[in-house]
Amino acid sequence: MTEIEERLDELKGLGLYRRMRMISGPQGPRVVLDGNPVLLLCSNNYLGLADHPRVRQAAADAAMRWGVGAGASRLVCGNMTIHRRLEERLAAFKGTAASVLFGSGYLANMGVIAALAREGEVVFSDELNHASIIDGCRLARAETFVYDHGDVEHLAWGVRQAGGRASLIVTDGVFSMDGDVAPLEEIVELAHRHDVRVMVDDAHGTGTRGPGGRGSVAAAGLDGEVDVIVGTLSKALGAYGAFACCDARMAQYLVNSARSLIFSTALPPPAVAGALAALELLVEEPRRVEKLDANAQTLRSELAREGFDVTGSETQIVPIVVGEAELAMDVCEQAIGMGVFAQAIRPPTVPAGTSRLRLAVMASHSREELRGAARALGRAAFRAGFRPAAAAPMLAVRDGSHDRPGPDAVPAPFDHEQVARAA
């Protein structure tokens, strides 16, 4: 047996082996999964725009006009008028002076963090930040202080310990596996007091939170107060790629310093055009954001009726924490058999002992579909042997995960994490 086979067998034995499931057709409320029709309840296509006729037509037209690929990085010959047009629209939407496109959210986070946090400095990261933030911190030459989830008191302690070396606080706006929201007002106030930059990854907040879907920063009333807002084109906007919104000088700096931008081929024109069309739809039809919020409230209410603890979620992301990985997989398979696809999420994506079904609501779901899904999930849990009432409440799971550091403690790394978390 080879070393690779041994590793695969170990993953299977731990209940952590993964395989790719096959979706037939476009992303919508209902899809065909491995040949069987199901209600899709784990897609990040939050506003239902990935298969919107205008978005699809815009992408098709762009392919005919500009071609399928950009051909080179933007600093060589891949910078097209359509890229600049989307950057201008995104900056206007987010209320910043400029924006810079990246190939993906992963590339954006790695590029921005590594550009802003330099050797001898300290970057501060929430313990539940996305894997791309974790890897961005690892690639930067700065030291990393990981503060307890959403705990501004712990963050403030770390900033004080760092003295004048503190350079960047980075946090998700909406946390992708828990559906809760970062305490941005407190983080920004702390950062201003200590002259530290703030970066918010709003991948799951763009198009879903704040006035007109402008995101978590706008929802917190912090327009102009955050140094860099990273967002994605692949979730609520239904396309592909990412962006960093900031002031004009910061944009110039990223173009000259973010290696993941400098050394990557520019986004394909069809993806850019699709994102432009989706952004136009979002601006024209803000009721999509209202419908998404109403749908999320419906699902949380119906799940609570079935006995599930959903108190930790404030957004369209609603986790059902099961505990052990194998049990989460069993509940997932039972739900698929009842026509509901809600993917099981296991370590290293989430901490050990908190495996879950991560439910993601779309604006294109009907309330009847969500009510039926909650009932099906209740039956699936019962058949798998999971009793929601016996599970630890989500807030207790979070609060009990770490002890408060003593006064002589040193900034913590990523808890000796062997494999980076990823959504």
pLDDT at residue 388, rounded to an integer? 83
Contacts of 296 (CB under 8 A, 6+ apart): 313, 315, 316, 318, 361
Find the DSSP H helices in 140-221.
Answer: 152-162, 184-194, 216-219
204 catalytically annotated: yes
pLDDT at residue 15, rounded to an integer? 85
Stretch 106-134: mean pLDDT: 96
Q: Are strands 23-24 and 30-33 parallel, antiparallel or unpaired?
A: antiparallel
pLDDT in tens, 226-260: 999 999 999 999 999 999 999 999 999 999 999 99
Contacts of 196 (CB under 8 A, 6+ apart): 124, 159, 166, 167, 168, 169, 190
pLDDT at residue 404, rounded to an integer? 42
Q: Which domains does the chain have, with CATH numbers?
A: 19-48+286-399 (3.90.1150.10), 53-284 (3.40.640.10)
Catalytic one of 125, 176, 234, 364: 176
How far apart are alpha carbons 130 and 143 in whole angstroms?
18
pLDDT at residue 131, rounded to an integer? 94
Higher pLDDT, 302 or 400: 302
Stretch 343-371: mean pLDDT: 95
State the average pLDDT for the chain: 92
Q: Are 174 and 202 in contact (CB under 8 A)?
A: yes
Q: Does position 418 have pLDDT exceeding 70, yes or no?
A: no
SS3 assignment, position 400:
coil
Q: How confident is the model at residue 362 (pLDDT cuts 50, 70, 90)?
A: very high
Contacts of 336 (CB under 8 A, 6+ apart): 33, 36, 38
How far apart are alpha carbons 128 and 350 in whole angstroms?
8
Stretch 266-273: mean pLDDT: 98
Q: Does position 157 have pLDDT exceeding 60, yes or no?
A: yes
12 catalytically annotated: no
Percent of the chain beyond pLDDT 70? 91
Stretch 299-319: mean pLDDT: 95
pLDDT at residue 393, rounded to an integer? 53
Q: Is the peptide bond before 348 cis (omega within 30 degrees of 0)?
A: yes
Percent of the chain beyond pLDDT 90? 86
Q: Does position 416 have pLDDT exceeding 80, yes or no?
A: no
Stretch 89-115: mean pLDDT: 98
pLDDT at residue 377, rounded to an integer? 97
Q: Does position 392 have pLDDT exceeding 80, yes or no?
A: no
Catalytic one of 83, 94, 235, 365: 235
43 catalytically annotated: no
Q: Does position 44 have pLDDT exceeding 80, yes or no?
A: yes
How far apart are alpha carbons 324 and 345 in whole angstroms?
10
Stretch 34-58: mean pLDDT: 97
pLDDT in tens, 282-299: 999 999 999 999 999 999
Stretch 104-108: mean pLDDT: 97
Catalytic one of 149, 204, 291, 365: 204
